[in-house]
């Protein structure tokens, strides 16, 4: 998983650099390159990629990435903790969410995302994002698990998570989104 994630960051960086280089060579107006964030309450599944792509823009040396990520995770977690839940929370869902948070924090490190981090710091361009697109529903992963319904079983679907169209909307958490991407100079 970490190798694939690092490769996706590497591919994004290469695409970003190539698009900007071609537009510069052609004398065209600068392109606007983004990627899509899903807005989960788990930093490493949501904001880590954004923070890595913005690290050079923010003047973060490669050797300072662990501290930068730890600081950003603390800030992100503090912002997420302000969001009131809109669905009933289960003990199991909360425990699973905490376990997932610990697992991905251990697993998705700059060292394990080496290809992506190499691409960020070897590029001639500091920028890797011009804006960010966001999908926002309910940021709490604890609300996603669900057992298959009788209809699911009849149709042979054995999903143990909500489909995107089944997710509860949490409008009270929407104001946290711009704050959680505070490193971007502008949002489009």
Task: Label residue 160 by pLDDT band (50, 70, 90).
Answer: low
For 97-121, the pLDDT digits (tens) are 888 889 989 999 999 999 999 999 9
Considering the entire predicted model, what is its pTM? 0.81
pLDDT digits (tens, 9 = 90+) for 28-59: 999 999 887 767 778 888 889 999 999 999 89
**What's the pLDDT score for residue 103?**
92
Arithmetic mean of pLDDT, 139-160: 74
Q: Is the pLDDT of residue 172 over 90?
A: no
How many CB atoms sit inside 10 A of residue 173's CB?
23
Q: Kindly list the domain boundaries of the chain, sorted by start residue.
A: 33-112+130-180
Structure tokens that stand for 141 in this block = 């992963």
Most confident residue range from 15-24, 127-136, 158-167: 15-24
Q: Which residues neighbour 9 within 8 Å (Cβ) at sequence distance 6 or greater?
A: 49, 52, 53, 113, 115, 116, 117, 119, 120
What is the chain's Cα-based Rg?
Answer: 18
Residue-averaged pLDDT of the chain = 83
Q: Is the pLDDT of residue 188 over 50?
A: no
Residues with Cβ < 8 Å from 132, sequence gap 6 or more? 34, 35, 36, 37, 50, 181, 184, 187
pLDDT of residue 187: 39
Confidence of residue 88 (pLDDT cuts 50, 70, 90): confident
pLDDT above 60 (res 184): no
- Contact between 7 and 115 (Cβ < 8 Å): yes
Contact (Cβ atoms closer than 8 angstroms) between residue 56 and residue 120: yes
Contact call for residues 89 and 142 (beta carbons, < 8 A): yes
For residue 147, the model assigns a pLDDT of 72
For residues 70 and 66, give the distance between their C-alpha atoms in angstroms, rounded to a whole number: 6
> Residues 20, 125: contact at Cβ < 8 Å?
yes
Q: What whole-number distance in Å separates Cα of residue 10 and Cα of residue 115?
A: 6
- Which of 75-89, 93-107, 149-163, 166-180 has maximum average pLDDT? 93-107
């Amino acid at each position: 998983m970490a190798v694939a994630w690092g490769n996706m960051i590497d591919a994004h960086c290469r695409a970003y650099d190539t698009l900007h280089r071609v537009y510069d060579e052609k004398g065209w107006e600068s392109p606007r390159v983004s990627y899509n964030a899903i807005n989960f309450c788990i930093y490493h599944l949501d904001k880590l990629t954004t923070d890595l792509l913005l690290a050079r823009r923010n003047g973060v040396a490669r050797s300072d990435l662990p501290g930068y990520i730890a600081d950003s995770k603390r800030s992100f977690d503090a912002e997420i903790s302000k969001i009131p839940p809109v669905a009933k929370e289960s003990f199991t869902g909360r425990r699973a969410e905490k376990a997932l948070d610990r697992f991905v924090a251990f697993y998705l490190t700059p060292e394990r995302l080496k290809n992506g981090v190499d691409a960020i710091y070897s590029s001639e361009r500091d920028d890797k994002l011009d804006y960010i697109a966001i999908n926002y529903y309910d940021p709490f992963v604890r609300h996603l698990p669900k057992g298959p319904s009788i209809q699911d079983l009849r149709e042979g679907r054995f999903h143990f998570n909500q489909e995107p169209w089944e997710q509860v909307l949490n409008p009270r958490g929407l104001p946290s989104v711009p704050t959680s991407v505070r490193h971007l100079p502008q949002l489009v």
